[in-house]
Structure 1
Amino acid sequence: MSSKKIKAMIVDDERYSRDELKHLLSHYEEIDVIDEADSGESAVIKCLHQQPDVVFLDVEMPKLNGMETAKSLKQLKHVPLIVFATAYPDFAVEAFRFDAVDYLVKPFDEEQLNETVQRLLEKIAPPEGPISLERPVSKLAIESEEGIVYIQPEEILYLYRDERVTRIVGKDEEYEVKTPLKDLEARLKDFSFFRIHKSYLVNLNYVLRLIPWFNGAYHLELKGHKEKLSVSRNYVKALRTKLEL
């Protein structure tokens, strides 16, 4: 991972929302919140001088709202990435019209924010140097009553959260662990796993086809697996970007 930190600016007319998001982002050493703004007008001026890499932008603001602010930011010489913040979960379609990296729904969810940060890291701070074709030797350790089982990440089809446990579905076996899905996602970050739903993480190497379902959502078919997985409409665009040439 690159040692360069991602410069972020938080724009929201409510101080509580700014403080909450700043606190959550402080848990990520890769993110450096360089400034805040309480209006769209102030944000444009500050971005002009400070050139942040990403702007976490509230949608519902007086005078210059989030949409209008994003449009103004697109005119700058150094155009920052945009992550919208909104209290309305059905805002995704409009957000992507502005090529937003993501949108966060208030009140902020830590798991959703983690997914957003991972997308930002992929876009802004890719690994330095030539990409190695060799995978790490490390295996995923699963603790069971019989001892510790070591699994090759390449043998895992997908993982999903089922109430208080996480189930790991492999080519030949299925495992059950108490480890949260987001923790396993972090441990598997060097492999081809991708979030398709807040409760599902899939190995892209086994993706066979995307099947349209309804309301912008899709079903995902995996090689060697009969059960189809649901792809949340919030993840469809990012998934296709990841998969397609």
Structure 2
Amino acid sequence: MDEPPLRVLIADDEPLAAERLQLLLARIQHVDLVGTASDGEAAVRLAEGLTPDVLLLDIAMPGMDGIDVARALAERRPSPAVVFVTAFDQFAVAAFEVAAVDYLMKPIEPARLQKALDRARIHLRHRGEEEALSAAPSAYLDEFWASDRTGLVRIASRDVDRVTAERDYMRLHVGARSWLIHHSMASLEDRLDPQLFVRLHRSAIVRRDFITGFSRNPSGRWIARLGDESEQPVGRLYADRVRSIAGR
């Protein structure tokens, strides 16, 4: 399926330069010109109102220059992919700092403009994929609700240092405090993010960055040293987790 046309906004204070860009864009497929601006302030207003995909932006403009425009629009969502179009090469470092997709020198060659627009499309596609992934709901537990004397308290999973089993309950340890919840160790192991937590014993799950080291006891069993200076024996069935964490 074809991708939708790129919506392009031109911002250039030189009428002839803006007109040349319009003529070049007219020869490129899958591009829609949505507007032109002759100064930086107008570029920001039009970008906010028209939400273009790409902004072809001159740098040396009176008042608000192109770098200022790019910085202002970077704070908006969605923000256009910025392609700088300029007669000066000394702004390249500043353009990099505001994450411009490309930097074109005037006079613009048609093939070079096409390449810049291709880069912008790839940039927008990757940004969309990243935003979709970040918005997707997590398959793992983000929080617990536990009872205390005042009612219920919310505990973020990432704040839990370790989980220990107590008969039919699990104890969540957060700093010097702890709470009992009604879960099984097996279900917690399945529902806690394995990138954050590791099971070290049939009755203990520990947050990975809470582990400060490992040692062996006289019988050769691994012992995990934890961030609160306590120790957690590693069950024989879980000894491979030590080698995995230590990269061995």
Q: TM-score scaled to structure 1, two decimals?
A: 0.49
Q: Which has the larger radius of gyration?
A: 2
User: TM-score, normalised on structure 2?
Assistant: 0.48
Of structures 1 and 2, the one with the larger relative CO (CA 8 A, separation 6+) is 1
Structure with the higher helix share, 1 or 2: 2
